[in-house]
Structure 1
Amino acid sequence: MSGPLKAAILVVSTTAAKEPSTDAADAALRQVFEQEGGGRWHVVDTKIVSDITTQIHRQVTLWTDGTEPVNLVITTGGTGFAVADHTPEAVSVLLHKQAPGLVHAMLASSLEVTPFAMMSRPVAGVRNQTVIITLPGSPKGAKENLQAVIKTLPHACLQAAGADSRALHSGGVRKLEQEAGVSSSPQHHHHHHHSHTHNLSHVTPTRHTIPTDDEAQGHAPRSNDPALGPSRRHRSSPYPMISVPDALALIATHTPPPATATARVGPSLTGSVLARHVRATEPVPAFRASIVDGYAVVVPPGGDMRGVVYPVVAVSHAAPADAGGNGGAMPSLKQGEVARITTGAPVPPGATAVIMVEDTRLVSTRPVGGSSVGGDEGKEAEEEAEVEIFAEGVREGENIREVGSDIEEGVQILGKGEEISAVGGEIGLLASVGVKEVEVYKRPVVGVLSTGDEIVEHDREGELRLGEVRDTNRPGLIAAANDWGYEVVDLGIARDQAGSLEEVMRDALRKVDLLITTGGVSMGELDLLKPTIERSLGGIVHFGRVAMKPGKPTTFATVPVKNNDGERVSKVIFSLPGNPASALVTFHLFVLPSLRQMSGIDPPGLPRVPVVLSHDFSVDKSRLEYHRVIVSVGSDGVLSATSTGGQRSSRVGSLKGANALLCMPSGTEPLRKGAKVEALLIGSLRSGIL
């Protein structure tokens, strides 16, 4: 058999059948195929069915009984003792051959993890040319069971598909093991002594679970396992300390790309970023227009128009043809005639220039609709009849805006990646050329969640009880995200129980693109956040500690989920430190660039400006420090930075009024007044001029 082996995944779950985004098993299993399948697998299909035997039968036989059967069908879910668990029974009926060895391998590996694996009732076997295996419904259990057998499955599938057994087995078991990348413990090979001697280098350490590629890349769960209790928790963080630039690089790499949407042109477009170039759908102006009040003329050769009296044969106002202006049926102007015209009005056909009213004199008038009269004796409404012009050297095109002279039709007026501001005139520009809809990047929806049993709503009545803390982070972060133009979902406060936190986070990831949690990322035994992300949600923690002050325990993770269209997408989680000052610093430093990257803003970081210190600043010995400062512009144009006060991370008072973060390198000597340092602008500049 050439080419990759085809696998299909059947999720048996009444819940997921109703709400596909709740399923995490599919993502976990695909990850095993990708990372541990040795490049042999192509997952061709995933289907979700309810716990109903007929539905399971229908889907499995579609994959196994056609002209092009898949090589492997994996089911996940419905293998337990619950009333609704029918999968093993449904699958057994379909099997032509049982495969108890695969069942034994899966149970043995699961029992190494938990005695409760004996509650699983897997079946495995072959139907026609397809190997079928049932896995538990939990993403973790499904993943571990598949890891236990994946290395040997290609061999099973090739045999089931009808490959020549003799050729497959020609090199003996050792060759098969080498090809599959598995090893058995040496004692199984005593009967091979004649073929090779056991020197010690052959003895491999016994390990009962297959090391995952994740582990090799540092992606295996490093968090505490909450089930083990406090005596077994880590005494120091298992997450390596990384630098701020490395943290920002990881965020840039793992932030999902922006999604696009169509938006109507109007004030609500402010802050959006264009996902496609915009071309003018019509020229501006769309007709030849006068740029002054005066008279349209046909310029004679030489351009001398002095001292001649011209008849006024028509009038053109800046009104459309059918609204009082007579643009529709304007006769062509001949040399020796003029037409009165107002600013912005269409130039009559035939006219080649416009003379300003200041360069003319009224010679005679006539009653409206009557014949010419000298002077002003007529008392009824009068109209100009003749004017004299005082102009020489008149050039063709004078005082006329030609069609498309501002913007030609079809020309690009705004480029992909440009931000639509409220102050730069982009909305007016789009409106002027009749663009009604544009393609923009969707702005991500942000969720803000506080965690911890000690946290209470900030506006709760009554005194605080011992140990209670008012929630300052959630309102602060919601306000900050709103201010940067993002829609925010307030997710409230989650309690410190693994199950409830997982439920709240699963629910949150359905509604939002980026989730911010605060609290629960340090080293306490109740810090469940990282374990929940890694162990329950199937996510990857990309970093869990950053060498900075404040904000060392900042955590960045991504979790695979299905969106409403059933597509697999990545959602971002930032877990920020619990104290308010650190939360706002890390929001601006890390979360905001991720949000801006998802919104299509390039570059996504905040502007960095050089500032001069207005007093001495002490620095941290070992960590880069972000000091909250007020940056103001002096009368000399110099930007100067003043501290907002004591910077202890738990000190809320220092939040007041900061509009920038001073980037202070670590060192032993304080930074002196007058030194130049970089600052990140997080708000508008103040004027220091009194």
Structure 2
Amino acid sequence: MSSQTLKAAILVVSTTAAKDASTDATGAILKEVFEHEGGGKWEVTETKIVGDVVLDIQRSITAWADAENAVNVIATTGGTGFAVSDTTPEAIRPLLHKEAPGLVHGMIAASLAVTPFALMSRPVAGVRNKTLIITLPGSPKGAKENLQSILKILPHACQQAAGADSRMLHAGGVKKLEKEAAVSAGFHSHSHGHSHGHSHNHGHGHNHGHATLVRHTAHNENPISNDPTLGPTRRNRSSPYPMLAVEEALKLIKEHTSLSRVVKAKVDASLVGSVLAEDVTATEAVPAYRASIVDGYAIIVSEDGASSRGTFPVASISHASPGEIPELKAGQIARITTGAPLPACATSVVMVEDTFLKTMTDDGQEEVEIEILAEGVKDGENVREVGSDIKKGEVILHKGEEISAVGGELGLLASVGRAEVSVYKRPIVGVLSTGDEIVEHSMPGNLRLGEVRDCNRPTIMSAVQGWGFEVVDLGVARDKPGDLEQSLRDAFRKVDVVITSGGVSMGELDLLKPTIERALGGTIHFGRVSMKPGKPTTFATVPVKDSNGERISKVIFSLPGNPVSAIVTLHLFVLPSLHYASGVEPAGLAKVTVKLTHEFRLDPQRLEYHRAIVTMGKDGLLYASSTGWQRSSRVGSLKSANALLCLPTGKGALEKGATIEALLMGRLSTLSSTNLLTQLFD
């Protein structure tokens, strides 16, 4: 393929064709137009058929436009009409970094010359990264006419979108461009498109002597949130953010959560929950001396293998305490306690059960002679050798291991005398509620009309603290852009991660997304998730300067205001991020398989995280039952819940006895502690 050849991809949007590809005729026609009418400038490198599903359309577009070797043009066909299932414009528009209304005008004008019904089409066009995207009708004739109407100017548009130098591209003027594209001077849509594109690229690409602006996002990551200064009449009426699958959202969280810096930490109870940032080696052997593993008597085993039986004087006593121990001589024994060091020259220890008291002092307080009853005692018997537990220099814990509350890791560190270790600093988390309607949960008296007690902040704080992270109460920010911006700026000076609740929907007072993008220069990595509850959950990073003046990114999670939505998304999205930052693997909630104790209705459109009680049955299996009515504002659906059931989308219900996955939020109940299962099964 020559360097002048442009690459095109064709996406056929049709549920019918997705089931039977032979029913599609439009894809082949568009390929023919590109390759036979495009003046030898085009090669169709990708073709695909998807159903009328927004997520499927968006996945295909982003896969082609976000790739390292992206195609120059993506042409979709189908889904641009007024039918209920026609969602192509809604899927494409949120993905665009720049819109191209001139191309849309040109396509509609060309079709309108053929039929008045062209006005019933809803095409969109624009640029994502360096790829031009156009949407064509589903009918073969309409798609062909629309593509033909703009085909000759597409190479010029693609060159600009790919970053070509505007000055060089436009050298010679418009007439030269029209001649190269073989279009007439009356082709007004080209003229408008040229003027707009030149002005935009020129303004960003050349220095006019003004002071250098510092922006925190790339030029193609312009804010897509509502501009609060424009008022309610000019805000988005529906969310401009793509609806992501939960798995895609989790991938973005992992990608944009940075591992915390390494710090030195004392080896004490505060270390529990920390993750080691280095291999830990033993600075001394354990035991550091030859020690007895029983209560008994240290003896010297004869080299000639003579019997160990006989009566011996007790020459000394060795306790498990510091002190000098006399050297043991042949024919002597020493009383010794468990863990005590062996006297010099001693070879073995005989258990006290294998001895007999022969004589004692006159006052009866001490042993004088002991008879050894054991036969064939071997060298080293009942003795812990130096380094037999841990050798000096041996790796006792590896980088990435977590210090658990069980005590084993702390015990190891303490046993070799480690006073401190290197760990990943656990992030400090700040929790902020937003909204003029929010009042403290502890406020005395009755609520006024419109007031809501803040249950999100204390609930989120308790959960995060229960996970082992330090929490800072950031209070309540009011629904005023300046107030919210200042609250967030102050927060990022105190904490590493900010969690907010409320203000992430589409109302005129939902200011979180505009404040993050427009005031703080942050990047919103996702603003909607295809799940129930918690659809408007937002994840972003904000650039800040650390204590050394270096620019770093800090994470902010903006959770929905509904209490249940906030807590579900806290467990599902925030916990994995905190784990990634702390080095904890695997990150997030533990996943188990459970059997349903009753029928569960499914949502036809969104994956549902159903609050449930998971119980261990007498048969060793895990059983799940609902906590009841699942409305996202009903905090009671979280009462007693220790799990989230991952209910798939679908029609109808999952039957009693079906097996599905659940995410554990708390400790398991047992059958003996609840009559719930008995009641359900009976």
How high is the TM-score relative to the length of structure 1?
0.68
Deviations 1:286-315 (A, max 9, x none): 111111222211111454435522232222
Farther off after superposition, 293-302 or 609-618: 293-302
Q: Figure out how many residues of one structure are paired with residues of the other and give that number.
A: 497
Alignment of 1:164-243 (within 5 A): 181-183=165-167, 189=173, 199=183, 204-207=193-196, 208-210=199-201, 219-243=221-245
Corresponding residue SS for 2:423: strand
Query: Alpha carbons of 1:505 and 1:305: their partners in 2 closer, same or farther (altered >3 Å)?
Result: same
Asked if structure 1 preserves the Cα contact closer than 8 Å seen for 2:308 and 2:377, the reply is: no
Asked if structure 1 preserves the Cα contact closer than 8 Å seen for 2:217 and 2:521, the reply is: no
Query: Alpha carbons of 1:527 and 1:273: their partners in 2 closer, same or farther (altered >3 Å)?
Result: same
Alignment of 1:143-542 (within 5 A): 181-183=165-167, 189=173, 199=183, 204-207=193-196, 208-210=199-201, 219-301=221-303, 303-305=305-307, 307-321=309-323, 326-327=324-325, 330-331=326-327, 333-366=328-361, 378-379=362-363, 383-542=366-525
Could you tell me how far apart the structure 2 residues matched to 1:559 and 1:609 are? 35
Which of 544, 550, 565 is 1:582 aligned to? 565
**Given the alignment of the two structures, is residue 646 of structure 1 paired with residue 629 of structure 2, yes or no?**
yes
Which amino acid letter does the alignment assign opposite residue 390 of structure 1?
Answer: L
Query: Alpha carbons of 1:647 and 1:317: their partners in 2 closer, same or farther (altered >3 Å)?
Result: same
Which amino acid letter does the alignment assign opposite residue 269 of structure 1?
Answer: L
Name the structure 2 match of 1:72. Answer: none
Alpha-carbon shift at residue 424 of structure 1 (Å): 4.2
Alignment of 1:77-96 (within 5 A): none
Could you tell me how far apart the structure 2 residues matched to 1:191 and 1:611 are? 70
Which amino acid letter does the alignment assign opposite residue 658 of structure 1?
Answer: A
Could you tell me how far apart the structure 2 residues matched to 1:225 and 1:519 are? 18
Could you tell me how far apart the structure 1 residues matched to 2:545 and 2:329 are? 71
Name the structure 1 match of 2:34. Answer: none
Could you tell me how far apart the structure 1 residues matched to 2:650 and 2:608 are? 10
Query: Alpha carbons of 1:620 and 1:216: their partners in 2 closer, same or farther (altered >3 Å)?
Result: farther
Alpha-carbon shift at residue 334 of structure 1 (Å): 3.0
Alpha-carbon shift at residue 360 of structure 1 (Å): 2.0
Corresponding residue SS for 1:641: strand
Alpha-carbon shift at residue 190 of structure 1 (Å): 7.5
Alpha-carbon shift at residue 185 of structure 1 (Å): 9.8
Deviations 1:316-339 (A, max 9, x none): 222201xxxx33xx22x2332222
Could you tell me how far apart the structure 1 residues matched to 2:500 and 2:470 are? 16
Query: Alpha carbons of 1:186 and 1:426: their partners in 2 closer, same or farther (altered >3 Å)?
Result: closer
Corresponding residue SS for 1:209: helix
Aligned-residue CA RMSD in angstroms?
2.8
Farther off after superposition, 343-352 or 572-581: 343-352
Name the structure 1 match of 2:585. Answer: 602
Farther off after superposition, 305-314 or 472-481: 305-314
Alpha-carbon shift at residue 533 of structure 1 (Å): 0.5
Which of 561, 573, 594 is 1:611 aligned to? 594
Asked if structure 2 preserves the Cα contact closer than 8 Å seen for 1:305 and 1:389, the reply is: no
Deviations 1:399-458 (A, max 9, x none): 111111111111111111111111142112211111110111111011111111111111
Could you tell me how far apart the structure 2 residues matched to 1:630 and 1:412 are? 42
Corresponding residue SS for 1:439: strand
Query: Alpha carbons of 1:294 and 1:192: their partners in 2 closer, same or farther (altered >3 Å)?
Result: closer
**Given the alignment of the two structures, is residue 686 of structure 1 paired with residue 676 of structure 2, yes or no?**
no
Which amino acid letter does the alignment assign opposite residue 314 of structure 2?
Answer: V
Asked if structure 1 preserves the Cα contact closer than 8 Å seen for 2:593 and 2:659, the reply is: yes
Which amino acid letter does the alignment assign opposite residue 330 of structure 2?
Answer: Q
Corresponding residue SS for 1:499: helix
Alpha-carbon shift at residue 197 of structure 1 (Å): 9.5
Query: Alpha carbons of 1:241 and 1:215: their partners in 2 closer, same or farther (altered >3 Å)?
Result: farther
Alignment of 1:58-97 (within 5 A): none
Alpha-carbon shift at residue 687 of structure 1 (Å): 1.1
Deviations 1:45-80 (A, max 9, x none): xxxxxxxxxxxxxxxxxxxxxxxxxxxxxxxxxxxx
Which amino acid letter does the alignment assign opposite residue 316 of structure 2?
Answer: A
Which of 544, 547, 550 is 1:564 aligned to? 547
Could you tell me how far apart the structure 2 residues matched to 1:425 and 1:673 are? 41
Query: Alpha carbons of 1:190 and 1:452: their partners in 2 closer, same or farther (altered >3 Å)?
Result: closer
Deviations 1:202-228 (A, max 9, x none): 855322334989999963211011111
User: Structure 2 unaligned runs (5+)?
Assistant: 1-161, 206-215, 674-682
Query: Alpha carbons of 1:186 and 1:409: their partners in 2 closer, same or farther (altered >3 Å)?
Result: closer
Which amino acid letter does the alignment assign opposite residue 473 of structure 2?
Answer: D
Could you tell me how far apart the structure 2 residues matched to 1:464 and 1:219 are? 43
Could you tell me how far apart the structure 1 residues matched to 2:230 and 2:618 are? 63
Corresponding residue SS for 1:295: strand
Query: Alpha carbons of 1:506 and 1:290: their partners in 2 closer, same or farther (altered >3 Å)?
Result: same
Farther off after superposition, 528-537 or 306-315: 306-315
Asked if structure 2 preserves the Cα contact closer than 8 Å seen for 1:304 and 1:394, the reply is: no
Alpha-carbon shift at residue 263 of structure 1 (Å): 0.4
Could you tell me how far apart the structure 2 residues matched to 1:454 and 1:218 are? 36
Alpha-carbon shift at residue 199 of structure 1 (Å): 4.7
Name the structure 2 match of 1:544. Answer: 527
How high is the TM-score relative to the length of structure 2?
0.69
Could you tell me how far apart the structure 1 residues matched to 2:367 and 2:659 are? 71
Could you tell me how far apart the structure 2 residues matched to 1:660 and 1:193 are? 63
Alpha-carbon shift at residue 258 of structure 1 (Å): 2.1
Name the structure 2 match of 1:79. Answer: none
Corresponding residue SS for 1:242: coil
Which amino acid letter does the alignment assign opposite residue 673 of structure 1?
Answer: K
Asked if structure 2 preserves the Cα contact closer than 8 Å seen for 1:185 and 1:206, the reply is: no
Which amino acid letter does the alignment assign opposite residue 230 of structure 2?
Answer: L
Could you tell me how far apart the structure 2 residues matched to 1:263 and 1:219 are? 40
Deviations 1:128-150 (A, max 9, x none): xxxxxxxxxxxxxxxxxxxxxxx
Query: Alpha carbons of 1:390 and 1:575: their partners in 2 closer, same or farther (altered >3 Å)?
Result: same
Alpha-carbon shift at residue 392 of structure 1 (Å): 1.4
Corresponding residue SS for 1:678: strand
Asked if structure 2 preserves the Cα contact closer than 8 Å seen for 1:451 and 1:494, the reply is: yes
Query: Alpha carbons of 1:552 and 1:191: their partners in 2 closer, same or farther (altered >3 Å)?
Result: closer
User: Structure 1 unaligned runs (5+)?
Assistant: 1-177, 367-377
Which amino acid letter does the alignment assign opposite residue 360 of structure 2?
Answer: T
Asked if structure 2 preserves the Cα contact closer than 8 Å seen for 1:304 and 1:392, the reply is: no
Name the structure 1 match of 2:653. Answer: 670
